[in-house]
Amino acid sequence: MEIKDIHQLEKQAYKKSHGELTRIGLALLFMVLALVYSYNISGDGTSSLILAVATVFGAYMAMNIGANDVANNVGPAVGSKALTMGGAIIIAMIFEAAGAIIAGGDVVSTVKKGIIDINGFGGNTQDFVWAMMSALLAAALWLNLATFARAPVSTTHSIVGGVMGAGIAAAGFSIVDWGTMGAIASSWVISPVIGGVIAIIFLYAIKKTIIFQDDKITASSKWVPVYVAIMAWAFVTYLVIKGLKKVWPGLTGFINESLSLGMDFGSKPSMVDALIIGFVIGILVYFLVKRTVKQRLPRLTNDRASVNVLFTIPLIFAAALLSFAHGANDVANAIGPLAAIHDAIITGGITAEAGIPFWVMAVGALGIALGLALYGPRLIRTVGGEITELDQMRAFSIAMAAAITVIIASQLGLPVSTTHVAIGAVFGVGFLREWLERAESLEDEIEQDEREIKEEKRLLSALRSELNVLMEKKDKTVSDYERITDLYRAIDEEKGTLKKAKKTLKKEKKSLYVKRDMMKKIITAWLITVPSAAVLSAILFYTIRGVMT
């Protein structure tokens, strides 16, 4: 039997290591292909080799974005079982790549968020190129480490830290716009708090209007179309703001020409444009969902599971739309520095914005999709189930929070991280569950057990003190020896009672709906992302410059 068990363990270990080697091999193959393609289209020479190496860094960064950041878009849908892991990965791969290629933009800021002043390089193109290469590699390495540790972190903050660290190494602390950095740091609090609050509001509204009602079916037929319509309004607005900047002129031009409107829609959509388009789509979705729910009512039972089923399809659409918008918006984290390097090498100068060749955009889009396919499941499981348990209603509230928070932030000019928003929403849902269901009594039990443990420790200490006094006594009587025996017995019993109380307390803490250990790990990772990426980038800058000059 033992030999069979050992053989089975060997087979499992081989299978796991073989799968890991396959993933590493595919990732390396993609980076090699990116390097070869970049070098071949750039011609021979040192500059072409530098661009090829930078392309490898960009490909590596894109894969790490796919592995870490995309989990926020599809994790709740997978955790709630609205999507399988395979289905979520396929949908996210398609829509991430489509968002990056279709709506990723024609130009990109060479320095993310304007955190450093490019004039600080004094026209030194070489140092600028080394800085961007260092920023890319440092951000990618940090994301790789965070993914390995199952910590969802902000890819934007990673590249911000990388650019800041390399900029300081190249030109000193004065190159950094510390006001902008302060605003970015504030998002560590703003993003999760807003996301959590909005998720709580929507989940509580769903519970109040549907789950807490005696007739859940009638309540569902009334309110589910409303919530899904609000979701459609929010997501279309979010998509227009974040994902249609590139295609907006062509789209509005076609509408103008087709309808002979002669209107000026501007070069990019305004908030009003986005809200109007979203509202119109939301109205259409309301009537479509109302008809669909009405058709399904005879097959539903008056329970929570049936209500959850009604949110499944909207959740799938939410995962797809979030992935499209993420691909359009966050692909710049991988290709922004790469586009800046390409522009600096081709033109010999440093500019605030650089054009994006299609092949550079393709490296970003394909890298995100491949990274998601190879390593995305690790973080998808974390976001979807290792923070708090999710069902379709909770996941729906998280998706709503992600979209609405970005809309509010865009309008108010607040710096927010979509990663922090989504994870904050997951925390918010978990804390609401604790508050609504049984955490209040559980917290009382925990406090009572902590008081009992404290009392047991005090009693144990008193028994030991009394024992020490008797043991030091020179002329012991028979009663003293009897008391010493009783004390040893009492101390052993108290130790057993204390151990049992601690075990009970540990079990109660684990039954809280938000895993506190996971929460601490994620918050710690958020706080150290920018400084960690910055320090690593500075080290890489000095290393690269030392090797190349």
CA distance 292 to 209: 19
- Residue 533 pLDDT: 95
CA distance 157 to 177: 15
- Residue 122 pLDDT: 82
Give CA separation, 503 vs 388, 438, 493, 516, in Å.
Answer: 22, 20, 15, 17
Report the candidate in 376, 497, 527, 459 with the shortest Cα–Cα distance to residue 64.
376
CA distance 445 to 422: 31
- Residue 4 pLDDT: 52
> Tell me, what DSSP letter sits at residue 24?
H
User: Bridge-partner residues for 354, per DSSP?
Assistant: 108
Tell whether pTM > 0.85.
no
CA distance 331 to 362: 10
11 three-state secondary structure:
helix
109 three-state secondary structure:
strand
CA distance 518 to 150: 9
- Residue 26 pLDDT: 93
The C-alpha angle with vertex 85 and arms to 81 and 90, in degrees rounded to 5, equals 120
- Residue 32 pLDDT: 95
Q: Which residues of the chain have pLDDT under 70?
A: 1-18, 44, 105-113, 242-246, 259-262, 264-265, 413-415, 437-446, 449, 504-512
Q: Which residue has the tokens 């601690």?
A: 502
CA distance 107 to 355: 4
- Residue 1 pLDDT: 44
Q: Which residue has the tokens 């079990």?
A: 507
Instruction: Spell out the alpha helix ranges (H) of 209-357.
Output: 216-243, 248-259, 271-296, 304-310, 312-330, 332-347
- Residue 451 pLDDT: 78
Instruction: Spell out the alpha helix ranges (H) of 382-477.
Output: 392-412, 418-433, 439-472
Which pair of tokens denotes residue 385?
């189930």
Which pair of tokens denotes residue 529?
């992302």
Q: What residues contact 155, with CB distance under 8 A and at least 6 apart?
A: 64, 65, 68, 69, 139, 143, 330, 333, 419
Which pair of tokens denotes residue 238?
């979010």
Neighbours of 347 (CB within 10 A): 12
- Residue 446 pLDDT: 66
Q: Which residue has the tokens 């200490």?
A: 461
Give CA separation, 405 vs 50, 88, 119, 177, in Å.
Answer: 40, 23, 34, 25
CA distance 337 to 136: 7
